[in-house]
Amino acid sequence: MPRRAPLSIVRLLLAATMLPVVGSAHAADATPISIPVVTPLSGATSVIGQDSAKGLEIAQRHIAEDGGVLGRKLELKTVDTQGKPDVMRRELERLARLENAPLILGCEISAATAAGAQFAEQFKVPFLNSAAASADILQRGYGWYFSDQITGDDEARAVTSFVEHLSSQSAGKPLKLAFLFEDSPRGAGTIDASRKLLKDRGIAPVIEVSYNRAERNLLPQMKKVEQSGADVVVWAGYTEDVVAGLKAMQQIDFTPYVVGVGGGPGDPRIPALVDPAFIEKLRLSTIDYFNPDLPRARRFVEAYQKQFGALPSSYASMCYRGAYTVRAALTSALEATGGRLDREAVRAAMRSLKIPGDATVTPFASIEFDAQGRNIGARSLVAQWQDGGTRKVTVWPKDVAARAPLPLKR
């Protein structure tokens, strides 16, 4: 009968056989995590995707500097949806079925995002929206859709607060308010929510004018608004149609107080595309979720300026912010599962997130999701083009304002 090895030797052999297993697990932990980002890199709304890609580039570098995701590299890979719902559906199916993405980040307009949310529900893959402001998507009972972005409801509250402030300057004269908006769910939804809130406060529009965002001649629409006698125009639009509309206003010398909604009126390229002196005549303001003068955005703004030689737009900021929300969710999921990354774990992590506002580049109180996937900490600000129409300054609400808003002209 062969002699048995001493117990101490057996233990050493067992320990040795375990070493490759431990090493293998450690190597797996060091593998990069790849997250697709759906955004319109081409097509009519390509400015959103192109700016988002720049924000993602900065975010990916900063996240690496901050230690990645528990030491693992986060790779953010853009996927072009062209801003089209049918392309979004096709890409979501590919990413969910063929690439088995654990999470998809969306930096898209509302129409395409709505299609993405529907298919994410079907394929049971977490879909984080960091761009679309449509509140309607959150009312559909989806269990896999989350939005860390503001919604049209948040914008409507800011519109109402700011218009009330302007109304208080009207020296007892009724405010003549007009609504102007592109007819997508994003534009129409925000205006609808604003209409309801302002009606409760006794303020009703004298006219409402809509248009398709593909239109580039807005002169007929502007003439209608001018003929209404409006002295304040609440305008929801994207960069391209806002530039076309501003030029039409200048052509007919129509200079109401303009309260814009979204990234279009606040796009940092506006002063290069439209006469800055005319912009200031309009008191052009924008209800937004980012402005470069916010102290908490300094790291992002400085890095963006250094790399791209310009101030970041709100479009760039939204995907930068979304990348950090992704990082927080992935970190939480990996910690909860002991290193396993699956969709159920990511969804559970999203539901339990609470990112403090000062860890974002926005005026948000926090990033945390309710049962519908809505960010209950989201908050809008109002920025206004001042200094001869060349600089966008945060003017509302008062607790985050860098300056006072320009007064209403009567």
Contact, 322 vs 334, CB < 8 A? no
pLDDT tier, 25 (very low <50, low <70, confident <90, very high otherwise)? very low
Question: For 254-278, what is each residue's pLDDT tens digit?
Answer: 999 999 997 789 888 999 999 999 9
pLDDT above 70: residue 23 = no
pLDDT tier, 41 (very low <50, low <70, confident <90, very high otherwise)? very high
* Strands 104-106 and 127-129, bridge-based pairing: parallel
CA-CA distances (angstroms) from residue 81 to 75, 93, 315?
Answer: 19, 12, 16
**How much of the chain exceeds pLDDT 70, in percent?**
93
- Tokens 């697709």 found at: 36
CA-CA distances (angstroms) from residue 108 to 3, 53, 153, 282?
Answer: 71, 12, 18, 29
pLDDT above 90: residue 379 = yes
Following CA atoms 342, 81, 242, 177 in sequence, which dihedral angle do they give, to the nearest 10 degrees?
-50
pLDDT above 80: residue 251 = yes
pLDDT above 50: residue 327 = yes
Tokens representing residue 294 in the block: 């916010």
Burial of 227 (0-12, 13-18, 19+ CB in 10 A): exposed
17: left (phi over 0), alpha (psi -120 to 50) or beta: alpha
pLDDT above 70: residue 26 = no
Alpha carbon distance 58, 185 (integer Å)? 30
Q: What is the pLDDT of residue 189?
A: 86
Q: What is the pLDDT of residue 173?
A: 85
pTM equals 0.83
Contact, 367 vs 255, CB < 8 A? no
Averaged over 290-316, what is the pLDDT? 95
Burial of 365 (0-12, 13-18, 19+ CB in 10 A): middle
Q: What is the pLDDT of residue 410?
A: 65
Question: For 172-195, what is each residue's pLDDT tens digit?
Answer: 788 999 999 999 877 888 899 999
- Tokens 């979720």 found at: 289
Alpha carbon distance 302, 278 (integer Å)? 29
